[in-house]
Chain A
Amino acid sequence: MSHASAGARHAQVRAARVVRAAGAALLLYSYLWGLWSDQRGVRLALVDETREWVSRPLGIGEDGGPLGIMLLLLASGFTSVRASGAGRSVRDRLVRVYLPLVVGAAVAAALLLAGGDVLAGRDTGELSPAGAFGDVGLINYLAPGAAPVLALGWVVCVELITTLTGAVISRSGGRAVWWTPLAQLAVVGVLAAFCDPSSPLALLLCFWPLAVIGQLVASGTGGAAPLWPLVLAGLAAWGLVAWTERAFPDLEGWWYGLTACYAALFFTALVRADLGSTRRSVGDWFASRSRWILVFTGTIGWALASALSALPPLLALVIASAATLLASECGHRASTALRTAPVRGQA
């Protein structure tokens, strides 16, 4: 068991940021360009050709959206262990994860009040602005029959859990490196075995093991635990994804097991590789705004694309994407200012 050098750890964190950036870009493409155009009956050559040449042959479903979410969760699991290990405040990290959900839910509610159109979850009924309270309280992602106004808010739920468990792994060390991921997998297994097949928890349970794999990779590449048991735990996590995919009828047929395999292999290969350059790039920009992109794609982007229906669809989507990215930039800057304000005040 060897401890990774500071340089290697830095390269690994950078790789996780690249993965997070890829995840955010895939999310934006999948839900805005793929799903929105499908729901409007719009045919886009770019989307059609990508499906024909990439998605179908490789078995990547839903235009890569689930792959994007899985990459985000892998990076999140990894960072939750590394960031806590680097001495960053857990509270600060929780705020950083949770704030976009609050803002996103508020924006969704405002859009609904204004008669706008937002992305609805897979099995949700009539959306109401009051649903934002349930989103902020996270109840909408756990209770049967709820209608979250922020369809992808459940990803933030997993990230919040991961932030807490990552802090436990990193701060407790020792056996926590083992029991924390295994306990999470046990929880996923028990919940998936006993919860209602039509539960809104299905997606959350199916994707949660990816965050656990991210934590396992962080422990393995950081030299905190021997490799082979971690590999076995990672295989168990993948097995849970494959099993939950079968256990919940709504999830069957989306090939999440294969997608999870791609995501985990890509993430692990990249973290073990040396990406070299440390200069800031577009990837860094996407990585740091990823949660804002997650919440604004289905709200601001979706609503704007729908509102611009008089324009050619391609132009409407370009404008909607640009607006999503702009809003993400604003969200990121505002949250950074908010989080650093007390520090500046003390100084």
Chain B
Amino acid sequence: MTTPTTPPTAGGGRSEYLHGLDVLRVVASAAIVYTHLASWISGKNRSWPIGDLVNAVTSPLHLRPDLAFIGVASFLLVSGLVVTRVSLRESPGEFLRRRAVRVLPPLWAALILAFAVVSTGLVREMAPESAATALHLLNNAWFGPYFVGGAVLLPVVWTLLVQLAFYAFTALTIPLLRRWPWLPSAVAAALISVTTSLVPQGAVGPVRTVVAFLPIVFIGQLISLAQAGRVRLGAAVALGAVHLLLFVRADLVSRGIFTPGGGYHNVLLMIVLLVLLFMSANGPVARSRWTRALARRTYSVYLVHMPIGFAVLELLVDAIGASWALLISVLVIAVATELFYRAVERPLERLLRRRRRRRADLERPVDTDEPTPGGNRDGLAGRGADAGRSARQGADIA
């Protein structure tokens, strides 16, 4: 669906790095931070001119208050898109292993951070002080609160459940995805529909939440497959429409998942259109080092902004007012993100890169050092810097 700048790869798909998606990821993470900080302030019934202005300017779009859901929808959509590209060149085991290494250790580190902050009693909006026990920490480490109940230490974690469900399904269907690329998303649509029908509206547990939001990730998958030329545009649009309707249906028939007031579906459609638009963005901003660097830190921002931001707001808002407290909170989040990224995410990135390089060296034919047509030495689809970055894009998002 985007302008082809490189020829199709040996795998049959185009693999150029989608620089525009980095911009979208940065915007999405900013939106998530804004939503949570602004909600904290409005939850305290404090007047905040910038928040009022943002809500007034966006009111013709009938969004949710404080730009809510924009960031989540963007992340889920981009995740489905990019992870699908990665899944086409990894074995199921490798795919799951890499996703797990990317997602879980940073999550555990963030849970320890959240545990420490919650124990100070500064972030009661996030979790009560009583939740700061070793038992709760262990329970959160395996998403226990969503299955067996208990306090949630880091409320943003529910979206990771949606992503992990998608990763598991994708790993299982990688052979299908390669042979009949349209089939996994069609099967997923059927499964989501049946599950929505069978699981009672008020059922405890994460199943209903996961199936309510899974269609967004599959829309991302379909965009990816259409962009790579693996699924016809018409088929992708039809299947994408089915997933959009499933998301609408989830809202119509669910209780306690969607906040009343609407604004979910129009946001999703807007984000889908923005993703399509940004996929072809290739200008200086999209390609800049800063955008790239910020995009690499979006998962860290996602994990640390809530405990750090809420704690700073709690400490400062009475003393210096909402606007200044928010500004300082954003600065502290930026510093904490950088530290978290350097201490947790970057070492993992390096570890994965080393392992990939080692594996590539082992798989390289001994009699030749020439690149294979349409692929590079380590077997990745595509050639050159963009192809390498394309592989990393998938790794980053996961």
Partner-B contacts on A (CB < 8 A): 8, 11, 53-54, 57-59, 227, 241-242, 245-246, 255, 257-258, 261-262, 265-266, 268-269, 272-276
* 13 A-B residue pairings within 8 Å (CB atoms): A57-B262, A57-B265, A57-B266, A59-B265, A245-B60, A246-B60, A257-B60, A258-B60, A262-B269, A262-B270, A269-B273, A273-B276, A274-B3
Whether B62 contacts A262 by the Cβ 8 Å rule is no
Are the CB atoms of A57 and B251 closer together than 8 Å? yes
Contacts A241-B60, A265-B277, A269-B277 known; 15 new A-B pairs at CB < 8 A = A53-B248, A57-B251, A227-B283, A255-B62, A257-B60, A258-B61, A262-B273, A268-B277, A269-B273, A269-B276, A273-B2, A273-B280, A275-B1, A275-B233, A276-B233
Q: How far is the CA of A267 from the CA of B2 in the complex (A)?
A: 14
Residue among B1, B60, B273, B280 having the largest count of chain A Cβ atoms under 10 Å: B60
**What does the 1/0 interface line of B260-303 toward A look like (CB < 8 Å)?**
00100110011001101100100100000000000000000000
- Does B149 sit within 8 A of A, measured CB to CB? no
Minimum CB–CB distance from A343 to chain B (whole Å) comes to 35
| Min CB gap A189→B, angstroms | 16
Q: How far is the CB of B169 from chain A (nearest CB, A)?
A: 25
- B58-85 vs A, CB cutoff 8 Å, 1 = contact: the mask equals 0011100000000000000000000000
In the complex, A54→B249 CA distance in Å? 10
Asked if A59 contacts B266 (CB within 8 A), the reply is yes
How far does the Cβ of A32 sit from chain B's closest Cβ, in whole Å?
22
Interface string of B316-342 (1 = CB under 8 A from A): 000000000000000000000000000
A312 CB to nearest chain B CB (Å): 28
B290 to chain A, nearest CB (A): 16
Which 9 A-B residue pairs are closest in the complex by CB-CB distance? A257-B60, A242-B60, A265-B273, A269-B276, A57-B265, A269-B277, A274-B3, A272-B280, A57-B248
Residues of B within 8 A of A241 (CB): 60
Per-position contact with A for B220-239: 1 when CB-CB < 8 Å, else 0? 00000000000001000000
Cβ-based interface call for B4 (8 A): yes
In the bound complex, residues from chain B placing their C-beta under 8 Å from that of A245 are: 60
Chain A CB within 10 Å, residue with most, of B62, B269, B280, B283: B269
Q: Report Cα–Cα, A268/B62, bound state, in Å.
A: 21
With a cutoff of 8 Å between Cβ atoms, the chain B residues found around residue A246 in the complex are 60
**Are the CB atoms of B61 and A265 closer together than 8 Å?**
no
- Which residues from B are CB-within-8-Å of A11? 3
**Chain B at the A interface: SS class:** helix
Give, as a whole number of angstroms, the nearest-CB distance from B57 to chain A: 9
Q: How far is the CA of A59 from the CA of B63 in the complex (A)?
A: 11
Interface centre among B249, B274, B280 (most CB of A within 10 A): B280
B265 (CB) vs chain A CBs: closest residue: A57
Q: What's the Cα separation between A155 and B277 when bound, in Å?
A: 27
Q: How far is the CB of A118 from chain B (nearest CB, A)?
A: 32
Q: Are A258 and B266 within 8 A (Cβ)?
A: yes
Interface presence of B245 (CB below 8 A): yes
From residue A247, how far is it (CB to closest CB) to chain B in Å?
12
B326 to chain A, nearest CB (A): 24
A258 smallest CB distance to B (angstroms): 5
* Residues in A neighbouring B4, C-beta threshold 8 A: 274
Q: Is the CB of B248 within 8 A of A272?
A: no
Contacting residues of chain B (3-22) with chain A, CB-CB under 8 angstroms:
3-4
Q: Looking across the interface, which residue of chain A has its beta carbon closest to that of B4?
A: A274
- B3 near A265 (CB under 8 angstroms)? no
Question: Which residue of chain B has the shortest Cβ distance to A226 in the bound complex?
Answer: B283
- Say whether, besides A59-B266, A258-B266, A274 and B2 are in contact (CB < 8 Å): yes
- Distance, CA A266 to CA B1, complexed state (A): 13
Q: Contact: A58 with B245, CB < 8 Å?
A: no
Are the CB atoms of B283 and A265 closer together than 8 Å? no
Bound-state Cα–Cα, A257 to B57, Å: 11
Which chain B positions have C-beta within 8 A of A268? 277
Partner of B265, one of A58, A227, A242, A269: A58
The interface residues of chain B lying within 8 Å CB-to-CB of A257 are 60-61
Q: What chain B residues lie within 8 Å of A59 (beta carbons)?
A: 62, 265-266
Contact between B274 and A261, CB atoms less than 8 A apart: no
Q: Which residues of B contact A262 (CB under 8 A)?
A: 269-270, 273
A274 contacts B274, CB within 8 Å?
Answer: no
B251 touches A273 (CB 8 A): no
Inter-chain CA distance A63–B283, complex, in Å, is 37
Decide: A265 near B280, CB < 8 A? Known: A245-B60, A273-B2, A273-B3. no
B-chain residues with CB within 8 Å of residue A53 when the two chains form the complex:
245, 248-249
**Chain A residues whose C-beta falls within 8 Å of the C-beta of B273 in the assembled complex:** 262, 265-266, 269
Q: In the bound complex, how far is the Cα of B266 from the Cα of A262, in angstroms? A: 9
Q: What residues of A have a CB within 8 angstroms of the CB of B274 in the complex?
A: 265
Question: What chain B residues lie within 8 Å of A255 (beta carbons)?
Answer: 60, 62
Determine whether the beta carbon of B1 is less than 8 Å from that of A274: yes
CA–CA, A266 to B91, complex, Å?
Answer: 36
The CA-CA distance from A268 to B280 in the complex, in Å, is: 11
* Min CB–CB distance A22 → chain B (angstroms): 12
B209 to A: closest C-beta gap in Å? 19
Give the nearest-CB partner of A238 in chain B. B60
Q: Nearest chain-B residue to A59 (Cβ)?
A: B266
**Chain B, residue nearest A277 (CB):** B233
Q: Which residues of A contact B283 (CB under 8 A)?
A: 227
Q: Which residues on B sit within 8 Å (CB–CB) of A258?
A: 60-62, 266
Complex Cα distance, B277 from A269, in Å, reads: 4
What is the bound-complex CA distance between A275 and B4, given in angstroms? 10
Given contacts A8-B3, A227-B283, contact A272 B277 (CB under 8 A): yes
Determine the chain B residues whose CB is within 8 A of the CB of A272 once the complex forms: 2-3, 277, 280
Q: How far is the CA of A219 from the CA of B248 in the complex (A)?
A: 37
Give the complex CA separation of A255 and B62 in angstroms. 8
Complex Cα spacing A59 to B1, Å? 26
Q: How far is the CB of A123 from chain B (nearest CB, A)?
A: 22
Contacts of A269 in B (CB 8 A): 273, 276-277, 280
Inter-chain contacts of B61 with A (CB < 8 A): 257-258, 261
Question: In the complex, A262→B262 CA distance in Å?
Answer: 17
Q: Chain A residue with minimal CB distance to B60?
A: A257
Shortest distance in angstroms between B379's beta carbon and chain A's nearest beta carbon? 28
Complex interface: chain B residues within 8 A of A261 (CB)? 61, 270
**Given the complex of chains A and B, what is the CA–CA distance between A53 and B245 in angstroms?**
7
| B227 to chain A: closest residue by CB | A273
